[in-house]
Copies of this chain bind each other. A is one copy, B any other.
Amino acid sequence: MTAATTDVIAIGNAIVDVMAPAEDADIARLGLAKGGMTLVDTARAQELYDAMGPAREISGGSAANTLAGLAALGASCAFIGQVADDQLGEVFAHDIRAGGIAFATPSRADEPPTARCLIFVTPDGQRTMNTFLGASQFLPATALDETAIAAASVLYLEGYLWDPEEPRKAMRRAIAAARNAGRKVAFTLSDAFVIARHGDDFRALIAAGEIDILFANEHELAALTGEDDFDAGIAALAPKVSVLVVTRSENGAVAVTGGERTQVPAEPVAKVVDTTGAGDLFAAGFLFGHVRGRPVADCLRMGAICAAEIISHYGARPEADLAELIGAI
C-alpha cells in the first residue's frame, strides 16, 4: 500500500443553500416538517421559494460542508459531486475550489439545474431543509476517479446520496476502490428518511465490514438499530464498526472504538443562529483528528468546536479560522 497523498476524498450532493429567516408560523403554514430534510420537486421548490423571504445563497451539501471544514483545518481534500452547467453550478464549484478542495467532476450540460436546498431558519436557530436535488442525483459512476480514491486515506460518503440510483452505484464502486487500496471508508447516515428507505443496504454494508467510521445522530442511531434507548443502540452498533460517532446536539457526542466509549460535551455557543451543517462540521473536526492520528477524545473535541463555530452564524461553510479555534488541542 502506497502512502496516501490526500487526507479525505468525499462523494456527496453538490448543493447551493438558499437560506432565509422564517417564523414557526411560516413552517406550519407551508406544511414543513420543522428540523427535517424533505426532498422536493420543481413545482414544490418554486412554491416554497415564492413563499420564502429575502434569502442569501451559500454553498452547501453535507459531505462538501465536511470537506470545507477539513480543508480549513489544514487537511488535503477532494470532492466528487455533480453540478449542472449553470450559474449555481459555477457558484458551488468556485466555493469548493476556493476552499482549497480538488474538484474535477465535469458539470452536466442537460437539465435539471444544479441542486439547491431551500432552508427556513427559525428564531431558535433550527433549520428546516427542502432539497431540490436537480443535477446532483445524476452523478454517474463514470465520474469516479478511482486513482484519486485509492490515493486518499479516507473515503467519506454522504448517506443522502444513497437515495438516487446512479450515485448509489457510484458509491458502491468507490467503496470497492477504497477497500482494494487498503483505505478507510467513513459514512454518515445523514437523515432518518434515508435509513427508512435504505436501512437494509446500510446494515448489510456494516455487517460486511465495509464501513470503518460511521457517523450518526441519535435519531439515526435509533432508526438504524431499531433501539429507542440510546445505550442499547450504541451497544448494538458499536461492535460492527471500527469507529462509531454519535452526535447528540446540545448533549455533546459519543465515540466508541475498540469497545471503549468516549464522550464530550457540546461546546458552548453564545447564540445558536443557524444549526445548518452542525453534523457536517462535527464530522470535519472528528475526521481531521482521526487522519492526524489523534486520540479519540481529541477528535471529539475538534468535532465539537467545529460544530459550535458553524451554528453561530448563517450557513454551513466555516467563517472563523477553524485551525486557530482547535489550536490548543
**A98 interface hit (Cβ, 8 Å):** yes
Q: A86-B87, A87-B88, A87-B113 are in contact. Are A94 and B55 (CB under 8 A)?
A: yes
Q: Which residues of the partner chain B approach A99 to less than 8 Å between Cβ atoms? A: 53-54
How many copies of the shown chain assemble into the complex? 2
Docked Cα-Cα span, A199 to B24, in Å, equals 51
Q: Which residues of the partner chain B approach A68 to less than 8 Å between Cβ atoms? A: 54
Q: Which residues of the partner chain B approach A86 to less than 8 Å between Cβ atoms? A: 86-87
Docked Cα-Cα span, A56 to B20, in Å, equals 13
7 contacts between A and B (CB under 8 A): A49-B94, A50-B94, A53-B98, A54-B68, A54-B99, A56-B315, A57-B58
Q: Contact at B53–A56, with CB atoms within 8 Å?
A: no
Docked Cα-Cα span, A63 to B261, in Å, equals 58
Q: Contact at B55–A95, with CB atoms within 8 Å?
A: yes
User: Which partner residue on chain B sits nearest A99 by CB separation?
Assistant: B54
Docked Cα-Cα span, A56 to B57, in Å, equals 6
Q: Contact at A54–B113, with CB atoms within 8 Å?
A: no
Q: What is A's interface to B at a CB cutoff of 8 Å?
A: 20-21, 49-50, 52-59, 68, 86-88, 91, 94-96, 98-99, 113, 315, 317, 319
Name the prevailing secondary structure of the A interface residues.
mixed
User: Which partner residue on chain B sits nearest A18 by CB separation?
Assistant: B91
Q: A49-B94, A94-B49 are in contact. Are A54 and B317 (CB under 8 A)?
A: yes
Q: Contact at B54–A95, with CB atoms within 8 Å?
A: yes
Contact of A91 (CB < 8 Å), options: B57, B113, B317 = B57
Q: Which residues of the partner chain B approach A91 to less than 8 Å between Cβ atoms? A: 55, 57
Additional A-B contact list (19), CB under 8 Å, known A54-B99, A55-B98, A56-B315: A21-B319, A52-B94, A52-B98, A54-B59, A54-B68, A54-B94, A54-B95, A54-B317, A55-B91, A55-B94, A55-B95, A56-B57, A56-B58, A57-B58, A57-B91, A86-B86, A86-B87, A87-B87, A87-B88
